[in-house]
Amino acid sequence: MNKKVFRIVVGLLAVAVGGLLYWNLSQRQELNEMVEQMVIEKEELQEEYEDLALQFDGYQQMDIRNDSLQDLLSREQQRVQDLLEELRQTKASNARRIAELKKELATVRAVMKDYVRQIDSLNATNARLTQENIQVRQENKEVKTRNEQLAQANTKLTETVTRASMLEVTACIPTMLNKKDKKTRIASHARKLQFDYEIAKNITCTPGLKNLYARVMTPDGVLIGEEEGKVFPFESGEIPYSMTQEIEYSGDVYAGTCYCPLDEEYKVEKGVYIIEFFCEGNMIGSYPFELKK
């Protein structure tokens, strides 16, 4: 081999080695950036939970002369504490559980909003409590603004989490039906709740028949339609459901309708209800809705 050929071979080898080193450094940098992003997402979600826990602490300090409401607040406060502790112990790399905890946070916020409304109503009936809680209301207003900002940030973070093959209910429209299955706007006439929902397109999801479960919660946190034996597996145990149906999912957008019958003796109350959707062991959607009349 003459010197000219030898120099060309050495040059090519040098370029190849340089390219490999550059690619290796680039991959390592991308991995580090992904790890850092996941850690940031977990820290920001933890801050949101801690802020919500502080809000519950503030309400517990108030003179709420309603034992039922006080018990509900205590229950939700403990739920926030349990979720916060679970979040602290969850590894930042566990993207699925972090996403589920974000959905849990949205559910607790919706429930808390109704509790705030009830507390304000109680305060309005007592002049002394109204005067004492002026400062608290102002703080709540500031907290609400901060929560809205955090919710916007949370939405952006949620979009960055890989959903893989997990389904997602992206829309849900509730309708009240009377005993003749006609639409009604009067809550006391409702004998059935109709939910028109939509599941997003997901080409990574395995197509086929799937069992969809739904839980409908009253403003007091009571599950509608709960019966012994009506349970489905979720996480490490089983939880009751309001209704279920089998759907055939092809990977494209799926539009469906499900119904939640109401017992004759059940009296529909006004307030904020919540419907949660579950499929294949995951909560795939949570939507609050209000019955006004």
What pLDDT, on the 0 to 100 scale, is given for residue 260? 93
In this predicted structure, the answer to whether residue 285 has a pLDDT above a threshold of 60 is yes
The tens digit of pLDDT for each residue in 95-142 reads 788 888 788 878 877 777 777 777 767 666 655 555 666 777 777 777
The tens digit of pLDDT for each residue in 29-57 reads 655 566 677 777 777 877 887 887 787 77
Contacts of 232 by beta carbon, 8 Å cutoff, 6+ apart: 211, 213, 238, 239, 241, 244, 278
Q: CA nearest 46: which of 110, 105, 106, 94?
A: 105
Q: Can you list the domains of the chain with their CATH numbers?
A: 33-160 (no CATH), 169-291 (2.60.40.10)
In this predicted structure, the answer to whether residue 272 has a pLDDT above a threshold of 80 is yes
Bridge pairing between strands 192-199 and 254-261: antiparallel
Residue 279 pLDDT level (bands cut at 50, 70, 90) = very high
Sign of the torsion angle spanned by Cα atoms 100, 105, 108, 110: negative
What pLDDT, on the 0 to 100 scale, is given for residue 232? 96
